Structures are given as C-alpha cells and as structure tokens.
C-alpha cells in the first residue's frame, strides 16, 4: 500500500542542530540513545538501524554508503541543502517541535517553518528549570510557572513532559511541604552556580500536576515520554501503566494523554490503555525509525491488536539532524503500509478501511487532537 501521497503530521520531533554546533557533534550519536563514548564511536555502527540508514542517507545525498562518504557529502552540500533534500523527500504538512531539547545548540523553532507548518510543544521541565534559575522565592516561582503554563505562546499546541527520565511515571499527588523543600534545594544549587536539573520527585510530580491542570483548562494534550530512551532513564519507571492514578483522576479526564515512543517495550501495555481510556493516545515515534523492520512492524502490529485506529499517532522523534526526519517519514509510511496490507490480506480490514486507517494515523488523528 503506497502511502506517499499522504502529507504527514509529525506529532513529536525536535529542532535541528545549528551548523556551528554540529561541528563538535559526533554524527553516529544521532542514531543511538546511548551516550557512552564506546557506544557512540563503535557499537552504534553495529546496529541494523545505523547500517540501513547509512545506505538510505547515501542514496539521498548521492554518495557511497559509508559513514566517511556521508560526512564528506554533508560538508560538500552544506547544512541547508541537506536539510532541504531530507524534508522535500519526507513530505510533512505539520511538525510539532518540542524545542526544549538541547535548547542552546539548536536552530530557532520558527526557522523550521520553511519545511512545513511548525507548532510548538512546551517542555515543562525545561520551563521549570529556567524559572527556578531566575526566581529565588517559591511564591514567585509558583506564580510565574503557573502563568507560563496557563498563557502559553499561541504557537503552543500541547505540553511535553520528560518526568519518565527524571523521577518516573509513578506520579504522586504533590505534598506542598516536600515540594517547597525540593525547590529550596534546587535554588541552593542555582546560587552555587551549578547546573539546575529538575530531579526531585515531589517537585517533578508537582510540575506534572500543574501541567495537567493547565492542560485541562486550555484543553491541550500532554505528551509523556514513555518506554525506551537514553540511559538517564530507569526503564522500570517508564512503563505507562504507572500513569494509572492520573488516568483515573476525576480532575484530569478531559486531558488527552499522549504516550510517546510506542512505550517500547511496553507497547501492548500502552495500546491497552488507549483502548480502555477515552483520553489516552499512543504514538509510533522513535520505535519508527530507530528499530529493525521487524521491530517497527512489532510496534504497529501491537497497537492494531487492540487499540482503536482513532487513537494511534505518527511521529518521528527526529532530532538534531534532518536525516532523522527523512528516515522517520520514509519508514512510517512504509511499515504502516506493509502492516495494513497484511491486515487486508488476513481479512481484518477491507481495502477502504485500511486506506482510511493510514490517513487517520499519519495525519487526521493528530490534526483533530491538536486542532491543527
């Protein structure tokens, strides 16, 4: 099933590195969630994702399918031309950017509008860290944080939380005393000039709680990192099943919860939540295109086992280099097409239903969810 005519809504991605930042950035590191030197310089090159991607990038850039040749071609073509080729081949209609990832090394969000219509996802931990750095009293912080959540930039179409990376998805109702204590600890770090890192459970939980309240008020979806990611994350606490108390909370029933990254390897668990809760959605990003074809197919199949098609979203989770946007778009269309064909062959869907499902997953569901 050829899905190349469907313009994509990429519901979760990140900004591109600025060319000057790219200079001290190891290109292979964009292809792994690991960050240890040995992973980045050696083991990543032994993954199927890296091997397959080198061939596909080489074809796009017109060079030999070797890392060295690709690096030379990128240099020769220049940043803008590489980006132009990747986005032209990808075919996005809208891209939602979480611009809180490596914020001081990436291109401005609005710059990406040349490739597709761009909307913002507000990464709430980054916002909180900035405000903690700037404001010394709890009262001032609390007021500023709430104000920022409740009156975001009009380009913001949703929130994004990385609490899974910091203190895990088993979020508890925040205890005011503990929250303030955590804030004071972080302020002391700030005053000593240390880098601020929001990783105090009561305060992280409070940040999520505030986000859900603002999202309820503004009717905006909240994206949760779930499942695999870099080793900063304890995968045990990135299982979306831990979100149950929030999903059951009467105050948050109108907030769409978007479970990112196919919650890999908790993909069936995520699909179950999206099947029984009206306000839960699942996403294919990172699983596509970072896995083998078998792995990408697993994610799509696992969702289709139980999850309503109206709840499945597409994204690339592309970041830093334009090639990931290209690869995510290419493999999103291709794997989805293959699995939908398989579904038609088995008699689970008709051709018409499968074609409609492709359009829903790649574009329509996200347009409706984010009111694009």
**Chain residues in the site for a copy of itself (CB under 8 A):** 32-39, 42-49, 51-52, 228, 230-231, 234-236, 239, 241-242, 244, 247-248, 264-265, 268-269, 272, 275-278, 290-295, 298, 301-302, 304-311, 342-343, 346-350, 353, 360
**Minimum distance of a copy of itself from residue 27's CB (angstroms):** 17
End-to-end CA distance of the chain: 26
**Minimum distance of a copy of itself from residue 12's CB (angstroms):** 19
Instruction: Classify each residue of 143-177 as buried b or exposed e, where b means 16 or more C-beta atoms within 10 Å of its C-beta.
Output: ebbeebbeebeebbbbbbbbbbbbbbbbbeebeee
Residues pairing with 281 in the sheet: 258
Closer to a copy of itself by CB, 206 or 281: give it.
281
**Minimum distance of a copy of itself from residue 338's CB (angstroms):** 10
Closer to a copy of itself by CB, 150 or 345: give it.
345
Contacts of 229 (CB under 8 A, 6+ apart): 33, 164, 165, 238, 261, 286
In angstroms, what CA-CA distances link 262 with 6, 123, 221, 251, 273? 21, 19, 17, 26, 12
**Minimum distance of a copy of itself from residue 317's CB (angstroms):** 14
Closer to a copy of itself by CB, 179 or 287: give it.
287
**Minimum distance of a copy of itself from residue 329's CB (angstroms):** 17
Closer to a copy of itself by CB, 3 or 121: give it.
3
Distance of CA 157 to the CA centre of its chain: 14
Closer to a copy of itself by CB, 36 or 134: give it.
36
**Minimum distance of a copy of itself from residue 40's CB (angstroms):** 9
Closer to a copy of itself by CB, 155 or 359: give it.
359
């Amino acid at each position: 099933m050829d899905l190349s005519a469907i313009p994509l809504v990429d519901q979760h991605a990140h900004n591109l590195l600025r060319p000057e930042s790219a200079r001290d950035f190891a290109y292979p590191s964009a292809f792994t969630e690991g960050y240890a030197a040995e992973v980045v310089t050696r083991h990543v090159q032994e993954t199927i994702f890296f091997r397959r991607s080198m061939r596909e990038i080489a074809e796009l850039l017109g060079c030999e399918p070797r890392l060295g040749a690709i690096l030379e071609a990128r240099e020769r073509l220049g940043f803008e031309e590489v980006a132009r080729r990747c986005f032209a081949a990808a075919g996005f209609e809208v891209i939602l950017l979480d611009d809180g990832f490596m914020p001081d090394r990436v291109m401005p969000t609005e710059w990406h509008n040349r490739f597709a219509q761009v909307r913002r996802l507000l990464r709430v931990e980054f916002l909180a860290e900035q405000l903690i750095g700037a404001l010394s009293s709890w009262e001032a912080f609390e007021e500023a944080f709430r104000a920022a959540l409740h009156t975001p930039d009009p380009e913001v179409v949703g929130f994004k939380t990385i609490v899974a990376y910091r203190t895990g998805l088993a979020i508890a109702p925040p205890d005011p005393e503990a929250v303030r204590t955590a804030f004071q600890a972080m302020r002391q770090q700030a005053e000593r000039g240390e880098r601020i890192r929001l990783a105090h459970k009561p305060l992280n939980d409070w940040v999520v709680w505030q986000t859900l309240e603002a999202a309820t008020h503004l009717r905006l979806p909240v994206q949760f990192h779930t499942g695999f990611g870099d080793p900063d994350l304890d995968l045990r606490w990135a299982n979306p099943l831990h979100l149950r108390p929030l999903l059951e909370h009467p105050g948050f029933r109108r907030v769409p919860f978007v479970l990112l990254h196919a919650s890999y390897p908790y993909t069936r668990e995520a699909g179950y939540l999206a099947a029984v809760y009206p306000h839960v959605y699942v996403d294919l990003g990172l699983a596509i295109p970072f896995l083998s074809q078998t792995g990408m197919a697993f994610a799509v199949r696992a969702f289709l086992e139980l999850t309503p098609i109206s709840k499945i979203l597409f994204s690339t989770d592309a970041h830093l280099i334009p090639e990931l946007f290209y690869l995510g778009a290419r493999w999103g269309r291709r794997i989805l097409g293959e699995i939908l064909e398989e579904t038609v062959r088995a008699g689970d869907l008709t051709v018409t239903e499968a074609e409609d499902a492709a359009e829903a997953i790649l574009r329509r569901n996200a347009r409706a969810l984010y009111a694009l």
